[in-house]
C-alpha cells in the first residue's frame, strides 16, 4: 500500500520474498515491475513456478543486480538473519535508484531478545522461534546503519504491542509463542510442560507435495475493499514515539 501511496509505477524488489505472493499481487494490481530475492533456493524455485514471477536465490549482499536497478526495495524480517547486516544495508542502497526507497521490517532487538534471557535466567536453555536471528538491533543501531549507508529516514514506527507484553511475560502462557515446537518452559513453581503445536505434527507427517498440490494450498484472493480497509485500520496501531512493541517498520529514502 505504501508503494502506491508513493508512486503508481516503478521497479520493485522484494527481499525475502518466499513464494513471491506479494510480488504477484503487485504485478497484477499495479503498474510496478517486480523482482524477488529469496535465500532458500527451494522456495525461490517453487515460488517462481507457482506465481510466475522472477525470483533469484541469494543473500542480500550477494544479490546479482546492477546498481540502481530498483526504485523501491521491501525487506521484511530478513536483516536479522544476514551474517553482515551493515554490508546488506549498503548493498540495498547500491541497488536503489536516486531517491529510491527502502521499507524495512525488523524485530525490535532488545524486546526480541527478552524471552531468551528470561528463560536462560530460569536455568533453562531452549531453542526458541528466533534462534535464527543473528543480530538484535536497537532503534539507535538501525538509524546509524541507515545513515551510514546513505539513507534519510522518513518514518520509524513500532508495532506488535501484544507481542511486546508477551516478551515481558505479562500475559498467561506468554512464552509459548516464542518456543520451538516440543520445547519445555518452567512457569513459576512448575516443572514445565510441552508446548508442541499441532502444526508441527502436521509438518512432520506431511508427504512430499507436487506443484499442483501446492497450488491447492494457496487461498482464494481476498475481498480487496475489505483488505484495504483492514490495512488502514492496522496502521492506527503503529507508533513512532515508543519502542514497546516487538517490531520496527522503517521507511527510508536514498540521499
Using DSSP, state whether 189 is helix, strand or coil.
Answer: coil
Asked whether residue 182 is domain-assigned, the answer is: no
Q: Flag whether 28 is in a domain.
A: no
Cβ atoms of 158 and 248 closer than 8 Å: yes
Number of CB atoms found within 10 A of residue 74's CB = 23
Higher model confidence: residue 25 or residue 217?
25
Percent of residues, the chain, with pLDDT higher than 90 = 60
CATH number at residue 68: 3.40.50.150
Q: Is the pLDDT of residue 72 over 60?
A: yes
State residue 202's pLDDT score: 30
Distance, CA of 31 to chain centre: 24
Give the residue among 51, 53, 28, 20 at the shortest CA–CA distance from 211.
51
Which helix (H) or strand (E) element contains residue 27? helix 21-29
The average pLDDT across 157-175 equals 92
At 129, is the secondary structure helix, strand, or coil? coil
Structural domains in the chain (count): 1
Using one digit for the tens of pLDDT, what is the confidence trace for 86-126?
A: 999 999 999 999 999 999 999 999 999 998 888 888 876 66
- The lowest-confidence range among 30-39, 88-97, 153-162, 170-179 is 170-179
Cβ neighbour number for residue 241 with a 10 Å cutoff: 8
Is residue 35 domain-resident?
A: no
User: What range does the domain containing 82 cover?
Assistant: 59-122+132-165+231-254
Mean pLDDT of the chain: 85
The CA dihedral of 126, 17, 158, 253, to the nearest 10 degrees, is: 140
With respect to residue 250, please indicate whether it lies within any of the assigned structural domains: yes
- 75 located within any domain: yes
Instruction: Give the integer Cα–Cα distance in Å for 100 and 123.
Output: 47
The lowest-confidence range among 57-66, 108-117, 131-140, 220-229 is: 220-229
Q: What is the average pLDDT across 21-27?
A: 93
- The DSSP secondary structure of 35-72, one letter per residue, reads EEEES-HHHHHHHHHHH---EEE--STT----TT-EEE
pLDDT of residue 195: 29
pLDDT tops 90 at residue 231: no
Residue 185 above 70 pLDDT? no
> In this structure, are residues 181 and 195 in contact, taking their beta carbons and an 8 Å threshold?
yes
- Close Cβ partners of 220 (under 8 Å, ≥ 6 residues apart): none
Query: What local confidence, expressed as pLDDT, does residue 125 receive?
Result: 63
pLDDT of residue 206: 34
Integer CA distances (angstroms), 35 to 51, 69, 75, 186, 235, in order: 12, 10, 13, 45, 26
Q: Is 167 exposed, middle or buried (0-12, 13-18, 19+ CB in 10 A)?
A: buried
Q: Quote the CA–CA distance of 14 and 36 in Å, as a whole number.
A: 5
Residue 93 is assigned to a structural domain of this protein: yes
Query: Best-predicted range by mean pLDDT among 34-38, 116-120, 235-239?
Result: 34-38
Looking at residue 131, what is its pLDDT? 66
Answer yes or no: is pLDDT of 187 > 90: no
DSSP code, position 208: P
Cα separation, 16 vs 29, whole angstroms = 21
- Check if the beta carbon of residue 57 is closer than 8 Å to that of residue 41: yes
Amino acid at each position: 500500500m505504501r508503494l502506491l501511496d508513493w508512486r503508481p509505477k516503478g521497479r520493485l524488489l522484494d527481499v525475502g520474498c518466499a513464494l513471491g505472493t506479494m510480488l504477484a499481487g503487485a504485478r497484477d494490481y499495479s503498474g510496478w515491475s517486480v523482482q524477488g530475492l529469496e535465500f532458500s533456493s527451494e522456495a525461490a524455485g517453487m515460488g517462481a513456478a507457482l506465481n510466475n514471477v522472477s525470483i533469484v536465490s541469494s543473500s542480500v549482499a550477494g544479490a546479482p543486480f546492477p546498481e540502481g536497478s530498483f526504485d523501491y526495495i521491501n525487506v521484511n524480517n530478513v536483516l536479522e538473519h544476514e551474517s553482515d547486516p551493515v554490508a546488506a544495508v549498503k548493498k540495498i542502497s547500491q541497488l536503489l535508484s536516486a531517491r529510491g526507497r527502502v521499507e524495512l521490517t525488523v524485530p525490535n532487538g532488545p524486546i526480541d531478545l527478552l524471552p531468551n534471557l528470561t528463560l536462560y535466567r530460569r536455568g533453562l536453555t531452549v531453542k526458541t522461534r528466533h534462534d535464527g536471528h543473528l543480530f538484535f538491533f536497537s532503534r539507535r543501531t538501525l538509524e546509524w546503519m541507515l545513515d551510514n549507508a546513505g539513507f534519510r529516514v522518513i518514518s520509524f514506527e513500532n508495532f506488535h504491542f501484544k507481542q511486546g507484553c508477551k516478551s515481558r511475560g505479562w500475559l498467561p502462557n506468554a512464552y509459548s509463542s516464542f518456543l520451538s515446537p516440543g520445547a519445555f518452559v518452567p512457569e513459576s513453581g512448575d516443572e514445565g510442560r510441552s508446548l508442541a503445536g499441532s502444526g508441527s505434527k502436521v509438518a512432520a507427517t506431511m508427504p512430499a507435495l507436487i506443484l499442483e498440490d501446492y497450488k491447492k494450498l494457496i487461498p482464494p484472493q481476498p475481498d480487496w475493499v475489505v483488505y484495504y480497509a483492514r490495512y488502514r485500520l492496522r496502521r492506527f496501531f503503529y507508533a513512532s514515539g515508543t519502542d514497546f512493541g516487538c517490531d520496527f517498520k522503517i521507511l527510508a529514502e536514498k540521499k
